[in-house]
Structure 1
Amino acid sequence: MTAATHHTCQHVMVLYTGGTIGMQASASGLAPASGFEARMREHLASQPQLQVPQWAFREMSPLIDSANMTPAYWLRLRSAIIEAVEQDGCDAVLVLHGTDTLAYSAAAMCFQLLGLPAPVLFTGSMLPAGVPDSDAWENISGALQALGQGQPNGVQLYFHGKLMAPTRCAKVRSFGRNPFVTLTRNGGGTRASTLPAELAYSYPKHQASVGVLPLVPGIGAAQLDALLNSGIEALVLECFGSGTGPGDNPDFLASLQRAQENGIVIVAITQCHEGGVELDVYEAGSRLREAGVLSGGGMTREAVFGKLHALLGADLPLAEVRRLIELDVCGELA
């Protein structure tokens, strides 16, 4: 990214979805709470040395623990982000989100907001604002300062002073100030030379149904069929190593073949933290490819899950969905 692709943000919309950052104690434990705008304004007013852009605040409804995040909520969040830019005149958006599914939501928005003429940052915190040693205020003020200094259009994740590409990172720790890590995955994927107009942020999207199945030793066709017969449109198959599975199980392979014939898109990714899928390296992987399984290369689970939702939600022809899965759309295979 060159300096010319950055622009200093002057009017930021803060979208508050809930999450730990604004939680307060309840009879059942920490729960999302309203009224965070006033707390945020009070804190920033107490730090006059901080140079942050002007900001407005919108509380999403309902406020949720991010463990309750859904693809349906993503579509509402997508609409709120577009509305902030196109109707409210904001030149950037900051999304406050719980950390458990933050990487999923940020990755999904990378694909849902293609071409949006504004930067979007996602942040959250591991401890609620106001409690001892909380990281909430430093993440909020840091994200606002980063926007004020200028960011490229597109979606990024901000945490503990770092900006990360959501399609390349994951939450790997349930403690501490650095829960998110950029994974070392295979790169070098071929960039899509052109994208269908339907993928642009300005085109409406609908909810899709995508399943995820991690392979384990001894997994059989019955377990696979149960998921494939649940009404899903696509399946993320989390394979061993560089993309291997039970290639000596004819029933398992036949189930994959039937899924392809029935229009279900199946994408293989690796369960490993580093590397990626190369289906033709081992015979066990080649048999998956012969059964119609597509290679997810070095895509993370978060990236391929969000990508499938965007491609299927744009009502693209099945052949186009299958083609674009194996091409780099917004850095997920870079």
Structure 2
Amino acid sequence: MRVHILYTGGTLGMIDTPAGLAPGADLTGWLDRLLTGTDLADEVTLSAFDHLIDSSNATPADWAAITADLWAHQQEADGFVVLHGTDTMSYTSSALSFALTDFGKPVVLTGSQYPLGVVGSDATPNVTGALRAVTSGKLDRVAVFFGHKLLAGNRVMKTSSWAFQGFDCPSVPALALTGAPWQWTPAVQTGCGWHDPAPYQRHDVLVLDLAPGITAARLAAALDPLPEAVVLRAFGVGNMPSEEPGLAAVISDTIASGVPLVVASQCPQADVLLGHYEAGHALAQAGAISARDMTIEAVYAKLVFLLCQGLAAEEIAHWMVTDIAGELSS
């Protein structure tokens, strides 16, 4: 099988510089040595960003560039691997899942906690695992391979900045676990898809955390000027300080102004049920949108995706609770 690899940057290919780790390793030579003698030795092509980035600098423009590169090589390969930094990999994998529902071929993102030139680096097992996943014939979506686990791309989040098993899916099982042979979980729904989406670009989506003691004045100041959309990370299953004077009014006024407001949970594992508790009743009454069991990364990427499609607030509210690419549980 033919595989195309896109290198965007990240720790995997970094070297020490006077200013800290930065991209600069000989990735082509390393891949050649890694694949010599394997059945993929002559079956892998490589492209790279002109400007390699630390993924902390990634923006929706980079999501668009990755999507464009994958489509440009779509007919040339059977599977695709994106080498990406770990800090925002789960944002990118979520974004790609919405943009590539018509792609028809497996795409796996991976990276490493240590650069490839460091003894004991996790770069080799992660890259070889990603290659095995895309050539397995069992994957049909965007996924992340990391720490011996294959994870759904829009269900994953980074859970550790140092552990080799640095990513996990809090609400669904792994797609596969490595071994001899790999252990695959039964296929789950992949959503309704989105035909011919407009490319990603930046949109003003504000992510806010509630905290004990937050005031209406502080929340109002954070929302002035109004963004295009808001992700409000609330407590538990979607609760807020309902007895805080004026707080509910600020939220209600924001939604009434035409700004979609999505309520997510600060818990990594949660299903947002607005109004299940009295402390969340005001959010439900105001017309807030439930994030259900989506990760914060999937919520953010999905909002940007929908804004890029030019949708009005009512349409965004509909699509946020509609499963597009397997990001929501039934």
2:77 to 90, 101, 115: 90
How many aligned residue pairs are there?
313
Q: 1:4 maps to which residue?
A: none
Q: 1:72 maps to which residue?
A: 61
Q: 2:7 maps to which residue?
A: 16
What SS is found at the alignment partner of 1:156? Answer: strand
Alpha-carbon separation, structure 1, partners of 2:278 and 2:257: 25
If the length of structure 2 is used for normalisation, what is the TM-score? 0.88
Deviation at residue 121 of structure 1 after TM alignment? 0.4
1:224/1:299 Cα in 2 relative to 1: closer, same or farther (>3 Å)?
same
Matched, 1:57 2:52: no
Q: 1:172 maps to which residue?
A: 159
Measured against aligned partners, the alpha-carbon deviations of 1:12-59 in whole angstroms (never above 9, x if no partner) come to 2111011000000101111112642222212322xx256567111111
Question: Runs (4+) of structure 1 moved beyond 6 Å?
Answer: none
Alpha-carbon separation, structure 2, partners of 1:251 and 1:32: 49
What stretches of structure 2 of length at least 5 have no aligned partner?
Answer: 173-188
Cα pair 1:116 1:153 within 8 Å, conserved: no
If the length of structure 1 is used for normalisation, what is the TM-score? 0.87
Deviation at residue 116 of structure 1 after TM alignment? 1.1
What SS is found at the alignment partner of 1:122? Answer: strand
Matched, 1:138 2:129: no
1:192/1:19 Cα in 2 relative to 1: closer, same or farther (>3 Å)?
closer
What SS is found at the alignment partner of 1:207? Answer: coil
2:111 to 121, 124, 144: 124
1:220/1:50 Cα in 2 relative to 1: closer, same or farther (>3 Å)?
farther
Measured against aligned partners, the alpha-carbon deviations of 1:85-111 in whole angstroms (never above 9, x if no partner) come to 15xx22321100011111111111111
Q: Percent identity?
A: 36
Q: 1:6 maps to which residue?
A: none
Matched, 1:329 2:324: yes
Matched, 1:258 2:249: no
Alpha-carbon separation, structure 1, partners of 2:107 and 2:221: 38
Measured against aligned partners, the alpha-carbon deviations of 1:120-145 in whole angstroms (never above 9, x if no partner) come to 10000110002111010111112112
What SS is found at the alignment partner of 2:90? Answer: helix
Matched, 1:217 2:190: no
Deviation at residue 264 of structure 1 after TM alignment? 1.1
Q: 2:137 maps to which residue?
A: 150
Q: 1:184 maps to which residue?
A: 171
1:159 to 116, 125, 146: 146
What SS is found at the alignment partner of 1:152? Answer: coil
**Structure number with higher relative contact order (C-alpha < 8 Å, ≥ 6 residues apart):** 1
What SS is found at the alignment partner of 1:95? Answer: strand
Deviation at residue 332 of structure 1 after TM alignment? 1.6
The one-letter code of the counterpart of 2:74 is: V
The one-letter code of the counterpart of 2:130 is: A
Measured against aligned partners, the alpha-carbon deviations of 1:160-218 in whole angstroms (never above 9, x if no partner) come to 33210122221111112101111037xxxxx89856xxx32454444322111111011
5 Å-filtered alignment, 1:235-250, equals 235-250=230-245
Cα pair 1:67 1:101 within 8 Å, conserved: yes
Cα pair 2:15 2:22 within 8 Å, conserved: yes
RMSD: 2.1
1:78/1:192 Cα in 2 relative to 1: closer, same or farther (>3 Å)?
closer
Cα pair 1:12 1:90 within 8 Å, conserved: yes
Greater share of residues in helix: 1
Alpha-carbon separation, structure 2, partners of 1:192 and 1:159: 21
